[in-house]
A and B are shown apart, each in its own frame.
Chain A
């Protein structure tokens, strides 16, 4: 088990390194000269040369990358152009808002997806199964930003049941939760569909397994068989799926944050783009990417712990 976890972590580290190289290539090499961009059109050549030297842009590329990589490992993502604050701090300030949003999305998808998948599997082939199937596909297909805007229109503007703007008053839990309902639904809706399909499929598989047949032979009540014995195994594949899901929800949260004017990473990057604040953009993308890779590694290790077959197939 330990070797599996170590291998998976090692692969994660390699992927992060390659991703960092790409980000470095994109942000530092393509858009012309970052020094003249940072200083604006009225900078003198002497000022640009000075900043270039301070940013290390006069060094060979491989040294620049090593330097970049080293400072990223130390948590130093550079300083923001406008306020002169460390990028890392600015990003970390916004990260909790986005994480709570993603967590809300996961809650919706797990709380509704698992029961729906279960019901569909139990009623296999029936009318209820078909309805749940179509609903799941529809939830997956419709883009989250349309869900966000339409739910804003219906529940916040027309019916005025829920607040439309912001993340709620700091320290006021009920206000925070109220402000979380619509954005997190927009983020998690597609994953209700994914999870219900996944649970249905693996539930059908599990119900054929021999230990379930044994439980049936012992005359255990069907309800108990399904909800205690089968479901426990059928939920496993969803954990890996959630690893991927978090990445997609991070993407959807950009839209949710903009539509509902919530603070968060997505809104931060979006606003940084319009002000051409490159360090913020690359810093935020970097943090979310590293976070995403780590979540996937964690999900894989968790599934490996729970299911020895996965560990074996990785070798």
Chain B
């Protein structure tokens, strides 16, 4: 913690992340408006003391929608990242520890999934399943899992022939035991840092899909959806796009600065490689 604060960039990142997280948690306290309350008499009000960030085309208070949108963004970031991590780790362990032919097939599938451009993948999936929160989570997983699984696989391959794993195997330990007790704890550290650095990417995917109308359904507040509302009225009511874009910029910057600092602190080797 002290290490993070000593780096100016780390301190800035931590502050931004703290502001975003706290404002999402205490959204109910920080504003007296409801996020989806329509107020026809207050449409397109520019920012004022009454409405800090102005109102949108339905007269909804944008400050309130930004705060509640933070909940959606962070919940998806957390949920989808955890889900990708779990699936990526399991697949990576299987590929690394399992038979050679299975490893080859899995690598091929990972490469094939990675060969779809992200947005094209998202568009295809949404065409099939319709827009929803789950579609966002699915896209995030398809984007993240191959990368995580590949890293875990490589690490597992290295550890597979390590002495302590050989010893455990010769004593008759089961594959699950070896993977869970002797391999996983040794490889989970570096991947956690990489995963935390992907949080801004996940935030961007959710906001981007919601901006295209392919993610969170209205009237649920989402930063991307606010951007979409504002984009339609960009010529007259510029404050709507500013209200929708600013939290995305601050959140992605905050998590990125924090992630970079964490990486440099915990794993100087990664710094040199990137």
Contact = CB atoms under 8 A, between A and B. Distances in A.
Contact of B245 (A140, A141, A150, A157): A150
B125 interface: yes
B44 interface: no
A288 B241 CA distance: 30
A289 B120 contact: yes
B83 interface: no
Given A15-B108, A30-B128, A281-B123, A143 B208 contact: yes
A32 to B, nearest CB: 10
A146 interface: yes
A289 B117 contact: yes
Interface residues of A, number: 52
A145 B120 contact: no
A247 B117 contact: yes
Contact of A158 (B113, B123, B238): B238
A251 B256 contact: no
Contacts of A27: 124, 128
A14 B248 CA distance: 38
B124 A149 contact: no
A225 interface: no
B234 interface: yes
Contact of A141 (B125, B207, B252): B252
B266 interface: no
Nearest to A255: B208
A175 B161 CA distance: 62
A143 B204 contact: yes
A179 B112 CA distance: 34
Main secondary structure of the interface of A (DSSP, over half): helix
B4 interface: no
A254 B117 CA distance: 10
Contact of B112 (A18, A137, A248): A18
Question: Which secondary structure dominates chain B's binding surface?
Answer: helix
Nearest to A154: B238
B231 A146 contact: no
Interface string B243-271: 00100110011011100100000000000
Interface in B202-246: 204, 207-208, 211-212, 214, 227, 230-231, 234-235, 238, 241-242, 245
B123 A141 contact: no
Contacts of B272: 201
With most chain B CB atoms within 10 A of its CB, the pick from A153, A255, A278 is A153
A259 interface: yes
- Chain B CB count within 10 A is highest, among A157, A248, A251, A276, for A251
A22 B118 CA distance: 15
Contacts of A276: 127
A281 B119 contact: no
A137 B126 CA distance: 31
A247 B116 CA distance: 8
A149 B108 contact: no
B115 A258 contact: no
Contacts of A108: none
A266 B208 CA distance: 14
A134 B9 contact: yes
Contacts of B41: none
Contact of B248 (A146, A247, A255): A146
A157 B238 contact: yes
Contacts of B108: 14-15, 18
Given A288-B117, A289-B117, A293-B115, A143 B252 contact: yes
Nearest to B131: A273
10 contacts: A16-B115, A26-B128, A30-B128, A141-B200, A158-B238, A250-B117, A255-B211, A266-B119, A281-B123, A289-B117
